[in-house]
């Protein structure tokens, strides 16, 4: 079975699987599989790491980039001519909550499906797509509950964009300084899980229900308006009795940078604006010092 690489949560794994290919959502290493894409001024380390993973992968037949992030759109142009892996750019509407935008997303899924067919995929029937969706939904429901047991320490939420593989050290750093992250609201955390599928809607229109569960339901910082993100964070912070928030953002991400003050005002708890530039020892020491100081103010 051929493998399709992607990292954006708005790429439905069910859609790829229903076309007979294997979806592989990855968290790339900061150095990538090799350094084909050299550091470029103003280029996000996560986008570069994903590009390096694609360039260093000789087993996959395709990679999907999306327009949710301008950095990803830019880095896709850098790898088009540098790899034998076929690439696809999924256009995501910036606005939402209207039928035209949802239909545009559905049309883009159709375009992706035709691309998957050129890579050896099949054209799934409505019944086959619905069966695949139910299978994936069941697997997600069988996943362990991500809620953290009440074992003491300052209760924190981690908010922001995607984490690179190996960045779990941030969670350990918080624990060492007397805190614990009670929910991960980053792009690679539970915030980007799709909604559960409605069985009745699934039987009537599986593609429409796929769009609802992904495009209409996943809260994102780039959506306009992004009130869904703030509503979700406010609800979860209240329910989980969060005492502080760490907004971990890459310095290249203007989207999260622009929302820091709104997050602080909306969540009504202390917030650490943790900007990260790279994984150098000096940057790690700076992060450790800032997290330690933040937790000291909350204890």
For residue 298, name the pLDDT band (cuts at 50, 70, 90): very high
How far is CA 80 from its chain centroid? 22
- Contact yes or no for 25/7 (Cβ under 8 A): yes
Per-residue pLDDT for 32 more than 60? no
Proportion of the chain above pLDDT 70, given as a percent = 92
Q: What is the pLDDT of residue 40?
A: 63
Mean pLDDT for the stretch of residues 58-79: 91
Please name the helix (run of DSSP H) or strand (run of DSSP E) that holds residue 23, with its range, or none: strand 22-25
| Tens-place pLDDT, residues 4-24 | 999 999 999 999 999 999 999
| Cα distances (angstroms) measured from residue 25 to each of 22, 49, 50, 157 | 10, 14, 11, 23
Q: What is the pLDDT of residue 272?
A: 98
Q: Which residues pair with 190 in a beta bridge?
A: none
For residue 44, name the pLDDT band (cuts at 50, 70, 90): confident
The token pair that represents 159 in the structure block: 């908010």
Collapsing DSSP to helix, strand or coil, 204 comes out as helix
Buried b (16+ CB within 10 A) or exposed e, 189-220: bebbebeebeeeebeeebbebbbbbbbbebbb
pTM of the predicted structure, to 2 decimals = 0.93
Give the number of residues written for the chain: 299
Q: Could you give the strand order of the β-sheet that contains 179-185, starting from the edge strand earlier in sequence? A: 179-185, 154-160, 244-250, 271-276
Report the mean per-residue pLDDT for the chain.
Answer: 91
In angstroms and rounded to an integer, the radius of gyration of the C-alpha atoms of the chain is 20
Per-residue pLDDT for 34 more than 60? no
| Cα distances (angstroms) measured from residue 144 to each of 14, 141, 180, 184, 246 | 20, 8, 18, 14, 24
Spatial separation of the C-alpha atoms in residues 47 and 43, rounded to whole Å:
7
Domains of the chain: 3-125 (3.40.50.11890), 154-298 (3.40.50.11900)
Please name the helix (run of DSSP H) or strand (run of DSSP E) that holds residue 180, with its range, or none: strand 179-185
| Tens-place pLDDT, residues 97-156 | 899 999 999 999 999 999 999 999 999 999 999 999 999 999 999 987 666 556 689 999
| Tens-place pLDDT, residues 234-249 | 999 999 999 999 999 9
Q: What is the pLDDT of residue 31?
A: 64
Total Cβ atoms within 10 A of residue 35: 12
Q: What is the pLDDT of residue 89?
A: 97
The DSSP-derived string for 119-133 is TT-----HHHHHHHH
Please name the helix (run of DSSP H) or strand (run of DSSP E) that holds residue 227, with its range, or none: helix 227-239
HSE of 140 in the Cβ direction (CA atoms, 13 Å)?
Answer: 15
HSE of 125 in the Cβ direction (CA atoms, 13 Å)?
Answer: 3
């Amino acid at each position: 079975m051929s493998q399709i690489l992607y990292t954006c949560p708005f790429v439905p794994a069910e859609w790829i699987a229903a076309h007979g290919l294997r979806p592989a959502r990855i968290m790339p290493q900061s150095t990538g599989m090799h350094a084909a894409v050299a550091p470029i001024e103003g280029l996000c380390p996560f986008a570069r790491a994903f590009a390096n993973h694609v360039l260093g992968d000789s087993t996959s037949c395709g990679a999907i980039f999306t327009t949710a992030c301008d950095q990803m759109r830019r880095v896709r142009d850098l790898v088009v001519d540098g790899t034998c892996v076929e690439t696809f750019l999924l256009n995501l509407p910036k606005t939402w909550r209207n039928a035209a935008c949802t239909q545009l997303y559905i049309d883009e899924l159709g375009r992706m499906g035709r691309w998957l067919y050129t890579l050896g995929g099949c054209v799934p029937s409505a019944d086959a797509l619905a069966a695949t969706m139910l299978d994936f939904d069941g697997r997600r429901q069988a996943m362990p509950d991500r809620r953290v047991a009440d074992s003491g320490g300052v209760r924190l939420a981690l908010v922001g964009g995607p984490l690179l593989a190996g960045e779990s050290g941030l969670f350990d750093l918080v624990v060492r300084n007397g805190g614990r992250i009670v929910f991960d609201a980053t792009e690679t955390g539970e915030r980007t899980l799709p909604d559960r599928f409605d069985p009745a809607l699934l039987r009537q229109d599986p593609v429409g229900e796929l769009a609802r569960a992904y495009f209409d339901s996943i809260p994102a910082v780039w959506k306009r308006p992004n009130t869904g993100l703030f509503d979700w964070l406010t609800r979860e912070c209240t329910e989980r009795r969060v005492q502080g928030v760490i907004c971990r953002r890459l310095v290249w991400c203007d989207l999260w940078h622009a929302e820091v003050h709104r997050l602080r005002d909306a969540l009504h708890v202390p917030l650490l604006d943790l900007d990260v530039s790279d994984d150098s020892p000096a940057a790690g020491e700076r992060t450790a010092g800032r997290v330690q100081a933040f937790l000291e103010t909350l204890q």
